[in-house]
Amino acid sequence: MEHSAAPIRSRRPAPELTVVGGSPAPKLRLADGADNAAPSPALRQQDWVDLQWRTAEAQAGEPPRWSQRKSLAFIGLTCAGFWTCVALGAAQLLR
């Protein structure tokens, strides 16, 4: 018993599809490795933002940095705010 690798085809012919204007619709086919996809608008925007970012960094030299004091204050306030919200939320749930 041999197995055929060819796909099973319907005995009825495929219906012809037409557009309202009367011209036949394009046939669907599977993509192949050599096909080029349409450029994604999201990827184009990411590339544009990346280019703008690198251009701005190159023009400005070294990017500005926060002092250690400001960094530690930001971290401390952020963590304190988070844990305050967790504690208040837990208190509300346990009521």
> What 3-state class would DSSP assign to 79?
helix
The predicted pLDDT at position 76 comes to 97
User: CA–CA distance from 20 to each of 5, 29, 65 (Å)?
Assistant: 38, 22, 62
Q: What's the CA gap between 69 and 75, in Å, rounded?
A: 10
Residue 34 CB coordination number (10 Å) = 5
Average pLDDT on 3-18 reads 57
| pLDDT score at 83 | 98
Rounded to two decimals, what is the model's pTM?
0.36
More confident residue, 14 or 86: 86
pLDDT in tens, 33-80: 777 777 788 888 998 999 888 888 777 777 678 899 999 999 999 999
